[in-house]
Structure 1
Amino acid sequence: MKRLLKRAQMKFLGGSFDEALRDYGMVLNDNPLLSEAKVGVILSDLALESEDEAKALFDYYQVIKSSSDNADEIIDQLVESIYSSKSKIHEILFESFKEQAEYEDGIRYSDFLKHIQSRDGFREAFEDIMFSTRVVLTSKKEFMSFVTQLITNDFHSMALEYLDNTAPLFGNDQEVLALYTKLKNNENSL
């Protein structure tokens, strides 16, 4: 166990966060109460999204773990605070984007869905507007639905452009990352 814990720590310090997460997870599976493994899992997961913050917290944990009985709780609270702050920032950015979109030329996604019903489907409706009008997306749900339709209807480069342009808004959101995988799978099946 100590060797696996040490290996996980070395993987983390070396920047191999996926491998560190796996190793810390194996230690935690065998020793569910081991604080160092819990912190390792939390920080490895955070590092996949925010490497600098995770490394800073890792260094801080190394300093406080010998002097504090609840060092793992302190780190957990700090990570929770980081996620909460990022969530609020994403919310503010998305709200700002939503307000800006309302003032620019475009068709709301709800109106676009009605247009799809009046045509022979998504492809035809999108081809009607793709060069003259923007589709205004005001929620993550609309974004996910729209990009999924782009992928399904073989508008791969446009789907990729939407994903790449909105990546900062969603961070390491697993649902959004799954769209990249779906896009890659659809491109490979052509």
Structure 2
Amino acid sequence: MDEHGSQLYHPANRTARLSVIQEILTNSVVSSQAQLSQMLADQGIEVTQATLSRDLDEMKAVKTRLRTGEMAYTLGIEPEHDDETAEKIDQQLSRGLSSLVVSAAAARNLVVVHTPEGAAQYVASSLDKQSIDGILGIIAGDDTLLLVCADDDVANQRMQWLLDIVSSRRGGSGR
């Protein structure tokens, strides 16, 4: 289950497995392959140690000493998203997306975002690469993307957050 009580199901393929590994390493402190293997098994994904090793190597996951002194697998950023890290991510998104979001509107648990023609896939990909609380998934067309949020309140918060990011208005990271 995700943090909102929704059960997530993953197909039994390599792409889904890599996505789940990325999600786990981004949001959790994982100190061993055995621990990661168990976390995958808890989500219904069985994997051999050799396959897991190859996956981690392909993803360029490395064991890093965290600020806490603990050794854990990371994907280039520590899994602990403090306010400073969230602010840096927000600034990067602001630079990359500021001219690409034309409008945004919340409708129940959804956020509809309009972009210039051909930009929706790029915007969706940029947002997908971040671990944004409350967003269950993003669907993109040519000039429109749809953020599926956990609930109505999250949709309103994410819409305002996105508008703040692309408008370069600061006021906390909102993550």
TM value normalised by structure 2: 0.29
| Higher relative helix content | 1
- Larger RCO: 1 or 2 (CA < 8 Å, sep 6+): 2
Q: Return the structure number with greater strand share.
A: 2
Greater Rg by CA: 1
